[in-house]
A and B are shown apart, each in its own frame.
Chain A
Amino acid sequence: MSDHDYKPKSKVGQWFNDRLPLLTLANHLTDYPTPKNLNYWWTFGGILTFCLITQIITGLTLAMHYIAHADMAFESVEHIMRDVNYGWLIRYIHANGASMFFLAVYIHIFRSLFYGSYKSPREIIWILGIVIYLLMMAAAFMGYVLPWGQMSFWGATVITNLFSAIPLVGEGIVTWLWGGYSVDNPTLTRFFTLHYLIPFLILGLVVLHIWALHVPGNNNPVGIDIKKPSKDTVPFHPYIVIKDGFALLMFMIVFAFFVFYTPNILGHADNYIEANPMVTPAHIVPEWYLLPFYAILRSVPDKLLGVVAMLSAILILAALPWLDTSKIRSAVFRPLYKQFYWILVADVLILGYVGAMPAEGLYLLIARVATAYYFLHFLVILPVLGFKERTLPVPLSITEPILGGSPNLAAARHRESKIK
């Protein structure tokens, strides 16, 4: 951010900017040189910012009407749905917004995996992203507990009980988390407090995430370093702003469809039954976005090792910049990695599917194979691939493939020769 000698035009602006360089910051953000070949997978960063702000605003409004008490939480949610003006709208945006947030974050993460955005010099951006993702999961889980339905209660019981797997201190930790000897009112009130706090922690981390991004600048589909500013870049405003805006609107159409026409499809029917510690639901299932990790947890027969496997599945991502030994970033120039990438995508989808199914018979077997493959991908395939793979020649600048309209150099050359 130091490559800036911005001077506001007006005297007042200069006076203010000398004391607090907010105008320099604004100028940096609008002028920020962005690779001009970014595709639509790059618009999910902006979409995620929108999701976060939407969750915070709707969440604040809900918190004005919600009552965090075991005897009143369920009723207060119904009060919001029935009697609060547009309460149904705000709650459905918030509930479906969580799913939309995760949908976007998964696309964002898998985009990064495909184009190698996590590699040097962007490791810190990536690790901050993993921390944000972890916090998102914590916030979503605690948010799901707040309506105090059956799935809220039993989901909270199952997840908090995972801590009891820790040797020696496990039981003590669980009691401490609950604030008692079972999930009850103290658990609900602390979950509400943390659910309120975490989004602001995420907001802070998002600022760092973007700050860290603005140091090296965006990666791009070709995955090469570019000179900034140059013919390869466009200023963030208006080029990226309008493109992100367009993608965001498309996203909002999908979002609106869920909110207005199938607002409960991503939730579980049991959560419209008030929490009852005496009755256990037939299947306790987490929300869809946690299912792959739930499948990993259940695929290990030992409780402690299951928890370790589940946590490792997430934390292994933080080590990814060092596990991937390839010098080439973009999968476009890595023919083998590209195939393994899609196998990983399929693997995670399969894990999500079996996570929703009962852990028995064939489902359990599939879950075990998929879990083993998940770790194999990161711990064996990626490190080996970096040494063994024969990568395709990488272009010197992104202008080269752009002229042909494709990040694939061979295809671009082919098209170019046809034009000639």
Chain B
Amino acid sequence: MKKLFKLILILSFFSLNSAQTFAAEKVDYLKTDWSFKGLFGKFDRASLQRGYQVYTEVCASCHSMKYLSYRNLSEEGGPEFSEAAAKAIAASFDVKDGPNADGEMFTRPGKLSDKFVMPYDNVKAAQAANGGAYPPDMSVLVKARGGGVDYIYSLLQGYEDPPSGVTLDDGVYYNKYMYGNKIRMAAPLSDGIVEYGDGTNASVEQMSKDVTTFLMWAAEPHLEARHQMGFKAIVYLIILTILVYFSMKKIWSRVESEV
């Protein structure tokens, strides 16, 4: 049994160690209480809905979200808009479809099964409209950045005047959390830039939190299911392990040996 503890110790040391290695580059990001962290972490439904509003009113003019469909907005574990609301959201976008029987492409209102409409036809068009910088697709953005949600949350609030000695080219902005501090995106949020339907004060901090929550869901739409299943799986494994431990003790009691 002593050896067993050693084993657990080594395993836990290993997991800690690797976590630290990958966190080595971390800057001190702004922190907030994310509801989706921890063993039972869940999304804050209202925050997700507000976050969608910020995305669609602010970010979506430049950033695509090509792996999401409108149906996702009403699915379990997400913003959980009613199906009618999600249908209405989809219908508010024009989707290019076709070719029809005459071989013509045509435009129709969006359906639940459509993917999020992209702001630009292609990467080149996006670059041309943004001074050569491509606004990254936001579907998995949170997972594609080392600092994850904390990084995005901080970046949105990290715009500052450049310190003396730093000169910025036209269309380049200073952000203290950006890698290299220079960013092609102007500060996207300002107090009151959106008007929340639920009366929440749309401060930059609040909007940053909401839209980052939304992006986390977009990147991990099954996060809640994962946490729920994980807890059950681990509890099940622990109980089974205990039972097997006692069976093992019983079986090994027949021989003169220690397990």
Could you tell me if A260 and B230 are in contact, using CB atoms closer than 8 angstroms? yes
Residue B105 lies at the interface, judged by CB distance under 8 Å to chain A: no
Q: Which residues of B contact A40 (CB under 8 A)?
A: 3-4, 7
**Does the CB pair B258–A405 fall under 8 Å?**
yes
Stretch at the interface among B79-87, B187-195, B237-245: B237-245
Q: Report whether A269 and B241 are in contact in the complex, using a CB–CB cutoff of 8 Å.
A: no
Q: How large is the interface on B (under 10, 10 to 19, 20 to 34, 35 or more residues)?
A: 35 or more
- In the bound complex, residues from chain A placing their C-beta under 8 Å from that of B39 are 261
Contact B4 A269 (CB under 8 A): no
Q: Is the CB of A273 within 8 A of B255?
A: no
A 298-325 contacts with B by CB, 8 A? none
State which of A113-121, A122-130, A238-246, A384-392 sits at the interface with chain B. Answer: A238-246
Q: In residues 224-269 of chain A, which contact B (Cβ within 8 Å)? A: 234, 238-239, 242-243, 245-246, 249-250, 252-254, 256-266, 268-269
Contact of A272 among B21, B144, B248 (CB under 8 A): B144
- When C-beta atoms are compared, the residue in chain B nearest to A43 turns out to be B7
- Asked if B237 and A256 make an inter-chain contact with CB atoms under 8 angstroms apart, the answer reads yes
Complex formed: what's the CA distance from A288 to B8 in Å?
20
Q: Can you name the residue of chain B whose Cβ is closest to the Cβ of A99?
A: B18
Whole-angstrom distance from the CB of A80 to the nearest CB of chain B?
11
Rounded to whole angstroms, the CA-CA distance of A375 and B106 in the bound complex is 68
Residues of B within 8 A of A377 (CB): none
How far is A246 from B144 in the complex, measured between Cα atoms in Å? 37
- Asked if B139 CB lies within 8 Å of chain A CBs, one says yes
What is the bound-complex CA distance between A198 and B58, given in angstroms? 48
Chain A interface category by residue count = 35 or more
Known: A260-B230, A288-B18. A250 touches B144 (CB 8 A): no
Q: Within A268-302, which residues are at the interface with B (CB < 8 Å)?
A: 268-270, 272-273, 282, 288
The smallest beta-carbon distance between B140 and chain A, in angstroms, is 5
Chain B residues near A238 (CB-CB < 8 A): 251
Report whether A242 and B241 are in contact in the complex, using a CB–CB cutoff of 8 Å: no
| Choice from A36, A39, A88, A353 contacting B21 with Cβ under 8 Å | A353
Interchain CB contact under 8 A, A242 and B248: yes
Which one of B170-178, B205-213, B219-227 is at the interface? B219-227
Task: Give the chain B neighbours of A356 by CB distance below 8 A.
Answer: 21, 24
Q: Does B166 contact A (CB under 8 A)?
A: no
For B259, the closest partner residue in chain A by CB is A243
Q: Is B143 an interface residue (CB 8 A)?
A: yes
Tell me the complex Cα distance, A39–B257, Å.
11
A245 contacts which chain B residues (CB < 8 A)? 244, 248
B256 touches A265 (CB 8 A): no
**Nearest neighbor of B12 in chain A, beta-carbon distance:** A254
Query: Is residue B132 within 8 Å, beta carbon to beta carbon, of the partner chain?
Result: no
The smallest beta-carbon distance between A38 and chain B, in angstroms, is: 9
Q: B11 contacts which chain A residues (CB < 8 A)? A: 103, 254
Assembled-state Cα–Cα distance A81/B139 (Å): 12
CB distance from A357 to the nearest CB of B (A): 8
Q: Which residue of A lies closest to B218 (CB)?
A: A82
Q: Which of B227, B244, B256 interacts with A242 by CB under 8 Å?
A: B244
Q: Establish whether residues A269 and B146, one from each chain, have CB atoms under 8 Å apart when the complex forms.
A: yes
By a CB distance below 8 angstroms, the chain B residues around A187 are: none
Q: Are B233 and A260 in contact (CB under 8 A)?
A: yes
Knowing A36-B255, A264-B143, A269-B146, the reply to whether A259 touches B230 (Cβ < 8 A) is: yes
B19 within 8 A of A: yes
Contact A402 B234 (CB under 8 A): no
Q: Which residues of B contact A273 (CB under 8 A)?
A: 136, 144
B257 touches A37 (CB 8 A): yes
The reply to whether B241 and A253 form a contact with Cβ atoms under 8 Å apart is: yes
Is B251's CB under 8 angstroms from A272's CB?
Answer: no
From B143, B220, B244, B257, contact of A246 by CB (8 A): B244
* Contact pick for A254, options B15, B18, B146, B259, CB 8 Å: B15
In the assembled complex, which residues on chain B have CB atoms less than 8 Å from the CB atom of A89? 226, 229
Q: Is the CB of B244 within 8 A of A260?
A: no
10 sampled A-B residue pairs with Cβ under 8 A: A40-B4, A82-B72, A92-B226, A239-B251, A249-B240, A250-B8, A260-B229, A269-B144, A273-B144, A288-B21
7 closest A-B pairs by CB? A260-B230, A272-B144, A249-B241, A272-B143, A78-B67, A36-B257, A242-B248
Known: A40-B7, A256-B234, A403-B256. 9 other contacts (CB 8 A): A79-B67, A82-B67, A88-B220, A103-B11, A250-B4, A260-B231, A260-B234, A269-B146, A288-B18
